[in-house]
A = this chain, B = another copy of it.
Amino acid sequence: MSTRGNQKKVNLQAVADEAGVSRATASLVLRESPLVSAETRKRVIAAIHTLGYIYNRGAANLRRQKTGTIGVVLSNIGSPFFSKLLLGIDEVLVDASIVALLVNSADNPERQMRQIWRLREHSVDGLIICPAAGSDETLLSGIEKTGLPYVQVLRHVSQTAGDYVGPDYAGGTDLAVTHLVRHGRKRIVFLGGYPVNSAACERLDGFQRALRRHRLESDLIIPTDLDNLSDFGALESMMASSSPPDAAICYNDMVALSFMGKLLSEGALPGRDFAVIGADNLPQAATSFPALTTIVTDPAGVGRNAARLLLDRIAEPRVSNMRILVSGQLMVRESCGGPLP
C-alpha cells in the first residue's frame, strides 16, 4: 500500500465530498444498492473516476466480517498437476470475485500447520487443502474446531470426515485394466509409487478390484520411487522370469514415459511387444514415441468442483459431507490399442 506522492488520501469520504453527498450514500453506490437515486449515483461515480478512488476491501472486511478471499494449501506447488488444478479453481473464483491466497505445505505437516495459521490470520473465508503426506485426522478436527469451512482435494485424510473432491482414480485404473484385457493382455503389472496417500491407495484398489473382476492374478505390483524415474526396482527380475508381464499400468505419465524409454533402449517396441498405459495425459503423452495411451484425469475439473463446493459451504453451514469424484476417461494411443507407429 503506497501513499500517492503529493495527493490527498482519496477514501470514501473524499469521494462523498467531491460528489456532495454523505459517506454512507457513497458507500451504497459502491455496493450497487437500489436505494439511491440515479442522479446521485451518477455524481458519485463521476467523483470516483475523477479522484481515481480505489475501494478498500480491507476496511470493508473489518466491518462485514468476511474478506472475499479463500486459502489454497497445496502439498507441492511445483507440480504441473497442481497448476491445472489452480486453473480450475481460479475459473470459479473469478466469477465470484474472490481471490485465492496460495501457500505451499511442501508435503510437510508442520509447515502445513503454520501456513494454515497464517491464512487464518488473514481471515480467509474458507480453505481448499490437499493434505500434506503424513497428515492425519487431527488436521481436519483442528480446522473444524475453528469453524472455518474447508474442502479437501486430491487426497483425503479420513474415509468419512470432511468434504472431498478428487479424480475417480479407482474408476480410471479400472478402465485401463479392462482395456488391456480386451487387447489380450494377461500379465499386467502395476508400476506405482508407494501407497502413502489416499490417491495412490485408490489407484491400487482400483487395480486389484479390476483384476479380481477379470479373474487375473494380482501379484504384479511394483512400488517405484517417484523421484528417481530410472529405477524400476523389482521389475528387472520379473521381466527375466519364466512368465514375464506383458503390460504395465503406470502410476502416471512420467513413469510411463520413462518406462517406454527403457523398453525402447532394450529393443522392445511399446504397443507391440508390451502394452503401456500412463495417467494424467501430459502434453508429451500425445507426441512421445510411441504415443502414450493414458488415463485422462481432469485436474481443472477437480479444481472447479472444489471451488464451487467451498463457496456453497461458505454460503450455508455444512449439512452432511460430500465426496465428489470427477470421472476420467481413457485416451487410446499407440502404446496400447492404437494403430502402431
Contact = CB atoms under 8 A, between A and B. Distances in A.
A150 to B, nearest CB: 11
Task: Determine chain A's interface SS by DSSP, over half rule.
Answer: mixed
A100 B99 contact: no
Contact of A104 (B3, B78, B90): B90
A287 B300 contact: no
Interface string A66-106: 11110000000111101110110010001001011111100
A120 to B, nearest CB: 5
A147 B1 CA distance: 9
Given A62-B59, A90-B103, A147 B2 contact: yes
Given A3-B147, A100-B102, A102-B102, 8 more contacts: A1-B124, A54-B117, A56-B123, A57-B122, A86-B102, A94-B104, A229-B283, A261-B287
Interface string A39-62: 000000000000010111111011
A226 to B, nearest CB: 10
Interface residues of A, number: 69
A135 to B, nearest CB: 19
B265 A284 contact: no
A68 B69 CA distance: 14
Interface string A260-286: 110011000000000000000011101
A148 interface: yes
A230 interface: yes
A202 interface: no
Contacts of A100: 101-103
Interface in A1-34: 1-5
A77 B83 contact: yes
Given A3-B147, A97-B118, A148-B2, A87 B78 contact: yes
Report the 4 A-B pairs with minimum CB-CB distance, sorted nearest first.
Answer: A258-B287, A80-B80, A2-B147, A261-B289
A86 B264 CA distance: 35
A65 interface: yes
Interface string A237-266: 000000000000000001001101100110
Interface string A306-341: 000000000000000000000000000000000001
B1 A287 contact: no
A101 B122 CA distance: 11
20 contacts: A3-B65, A54-B117, A54-B120, A54-B146, A58-B58, A58-B62, A58-B67, A69-B122, A77-B87, A78-B300, A79-B83, A86-B102, A97-B118, A99-B102, A100-B103, A102-B102, A254-B284, A257-B287, A265-B289, A288-B288
